[in-house]
Structure 1
Amino acid sequence: MDVLDQLGAVRERKLSRRRFAKGLLAAGVAMTTMPLPARRAMAAEGDQATYFTWGGYDIPELFKPYQAKNGALPNFAIFGGSEEALTKMRGGFVVDVSHPCNQSMPRWVQTGLFQPIDTSRVSNWGDVIPELVDLPGNDAEGGKVWMAPFDWGQTSVTYRTDLFELEGEETWDMLWDARYAGQLGSLASGGDAWWCGAIKAGVDFDDIDSEEAFEKIAAVMREQRPLIRVYTDDTTTLEQALAAGEMVASMTWNSSAVLLQAEGVPVKFAKPKEGALTWVCGVMIHKDAPNLDRAYDVIDSLLSVETGHFMINDWGYGHSNRKSFDAFDEETLAGLGLSTQPVEILQAGHFQQPQTQEWETRMNELFEQIKAGF
């Protein structure tokens, strides 16, 4: 199948965007963006649940149990950051389930737009790792929870070991290295980049909402701005640029390094001496979910062992179902930066903490100004 045929398959949802990207990497083709039309929600057969999620999570590999039960994939709507998603839902966009992360979840709850999850309706709930459920603000009345944890992992620096000359230990300073001006990349969302800037600036996450913290983080982000080739939350763009050698290092999630390594690109997912950024993401149900039964089917599918195997093996992410780890030995997990004990990984880094809506708004506005050169 040539590239044009593959593009057609992606548009018809016969081929995932990630598998398409892998094919290009294997063929040595680099691109800066996926030439796909903008979309609001992908149509599925019949009256299916709508899943509002990050780009890249709209793939069949995560929904085999759902598809087997319902005869089709869910509908998908895509966002680039959790604040964008929440703003859209506040504006009246109704979905069945959405995909926030731990630092955003309490703010989402406070909007009144979501309903507690009845865990008795989730067949895989008994296998969910308890520490991933016991997050600040995740307890609802009657033993229910607001967010079903799904994936967890790290944000760090993926770098070309053959192109980036490492001086000493791996460090966040790598993304501030003036030697590589114009050859560095970053995730565009403040939900990742601002927090990584806090680590670089030496700001304790307990004090990240202080005026002094804002000034320190803004200063390092402005210092970094002229060095960055691209800010994007399209991880395919970052991966392609690293594979082509257009960039030598970028802020990424675990999955980018795992994908590139699988295709023979000499990259490493850094373990910064200051610690990586760590997070847990999950699924919440909209209070007006039009397909509630199938909303629970989405959750069950995402929490399944089958989905967990894919997440760990293909993306290098941690999964919330403890049984998902049974197929992997400790050496393999360690090589992915994972463990059957997620607390070990989360506590080894800097775990994001919930902030107020006022903080989130100010942070995003300031970061957007910095990216624009102000």
Structure 2
Amino acid sequence: MKLKKIISLALTVVMSSTLLVGCGKSKKSAQVLNIYNVGDYIDEDLITKFEEETGIDVVYETYDTNEAMYQKLKSGSTKYDLIFPSDYMVEKLISEDLVSPIDYSKIPNYKYIMKDFRNPAYDPGNKYSVPYMWGTFGILYNKTMVDEKDVDSWDVLWNKKYAGNIQMLDSVRDTMGISLIRLGYSINTQKTSEIEEAKNELIKQLPLVQAYVNDDGKDRLVVGDAAMGIVYNGDALVLMDENPDLAYSVPKEGTNRWVDAMCIPKIAENKDYAQMFINFMLDPDNALQNVEYIEYSTPNQAAFDMLDDETKNNPTAYPDQEVLDKSDVFLNLPPKVLKIYEDAWTEIKSQ
């Protein structure tokens, strides 16, 4: 199943790219829904099901990072109808008036969203966003290549004996966040001195790092070309299915507890279709099918209730409260502070 999934996702990226290059922008039609989502992040059979049930054609395109999505959305070059930003990016999009309020009269299946995911700090009242998935990030490591019995600290990523075998995320907030957590600081710090210290630690780590990666690093972890890497928990579950030598750990210092959401851009041309799709994805059967396929953690109570006990009790998918209590949520930071992070990131990547 997982091999089929990987092949299917690769074909989708190729087909989506071909379509978009051919027309220069997303298809414009009263019967088209233009979706922009993170790679490897939906069961595409559900897209087909939605098309068959509604007669609406879906144009589906993928991106690697929130920042890449933001830049394309900000440029206005392509008018997407539905996007899937993370919590802090939702807050940023709201502050810049780039997303539209949700009409919940058209999304009755919102009733299935767990109470813990309603009224979040990044979008009070869920006025602009509907929770899609949630989770953590941590260290995925190969037990045959890592000596430590318990990989329980971010410090292992700075261990010289794993030089050339460590992958880091090519994401400024995530990777700077790891360095900040390791130093005992908040992932949302606005203190220049703490950001500077986190940057310097990542520069020290560079000789040990095999590569900064996103989706492109997953295959290397599966085949054993890297001893460890930073992955989101849902990806960890998929990759551990592929290779039983892999294990996932949330370090004791803490991590990021993230929420990804569905939002409708301000410039969307087919907002009603976007809301139809959101409601479709919140249907318990569809939500269950989706979470079983991509293996991330669902905020949909009805879908969660239908999961098997092994999945419900899997700490990688649904960590216990002790882990969650030590987790932090990324917040949107003031532009002047983000500039400090971005300058630090540029310096790291230019070494």
Matching of residue 17 in structure 1 with residue 10 in structure 2: yes
Matching of residue 227 in structure 1 with residue 212 in structure 2: no
Aligned match of 1:308:
287
Corresponding letter in the other structure for 1:283: M
Contact 1:63 1:73 in 2 (8 A): no
CA drift of 1:119 comes to: 1.4
Equivalent residues in 2 for 1:146-225, closer than 5 Å? 146-166=128-148, 169-205=151-187, 208-225=189-206
Equivalent residues in 2 for 1:22-171, closer than 5 Å? 38=17, 41=20, 47-57=31-41, 59-63=43-47, 65-71=49-55, 74-93=58-77, 94-139=79-124, 145-166=127-148, 169-171=151-153
What percentage of residue pairs aligned between the two structures are identical?
A: 20
- TM-aligned CA distance change 1:238 to 1:289, over 3 Å: same
Aligned match of 1:281:
260
Q: In 2, distance between residues paired with 1:127 and 1:243?
A: 35
Q: In 1, distance between residues paired with 2:322 and 2:114?
A: 13
CA drift of 1:65 comes to: 4.9
Secondary structure of 1:63's match? helix
CA drift of 1:73 comes to: 5.4
Corresponding letter in the other structure for 1:153: G
- TM-aligned CA distance change 1:171 to 1:345, over 3 Å: closer
Q: In 1, distance between residues paired with 2:58 and 2:14?
A: 23
CA drift of 1:102 comes to: 0.9
CA drift of 1:114 comes to: 1.4
Residues 104-145 of structure 1 show CA distances to partners (whole Å, capped at 9, x for unaligned) of 2121111112111011211311111122122114136xxx61
TM-score (normalised: structure 2):
0.86
Residues 71-104 of structure 1 show CA distances to partners (whole Å, capped at 9, x for unaligned) of 4652123222212222222211321111111112
Task: Name stretches of at least 5 consecutive residues in structure 2 with no aligned partner.
Answer: none
TM-score (normalised: structure 1):
0.81
Q: In 2, distance between residues paired with 1:272 and 1:36?
A: 39
Contact 1:316 1:336 in 2 (8 A): no
Q: In 2, distance between residues paired with 1:86 and 1:262?
A: 32
Q: In 2, distance between residues paired with 1:162 and 1:262?
A: 16
- TM-aligned CA distance change 1:325 to 1:193, over 3 Å: same
152-161 or 126-135, which deviates more: 126-135
- TM-aligned CA distance change 1:178 to 1:72, over 3 Å: farther
Contact 1:158 1:268 in 2 (8 A): yes
Task: Name stretches of at least 5 consecutive residues in structure 1 with no aligned partner.
Answer: 21-33
Contact 1:80 1:189 in 2 (8 A): no
Q: In 1, distance between residues paired with 2:149 and 2:117?
A: 36
Aligned match of 2:269:
290
Q: In 1, distance between residues paired with 2:320 and 2:59?
A: 31
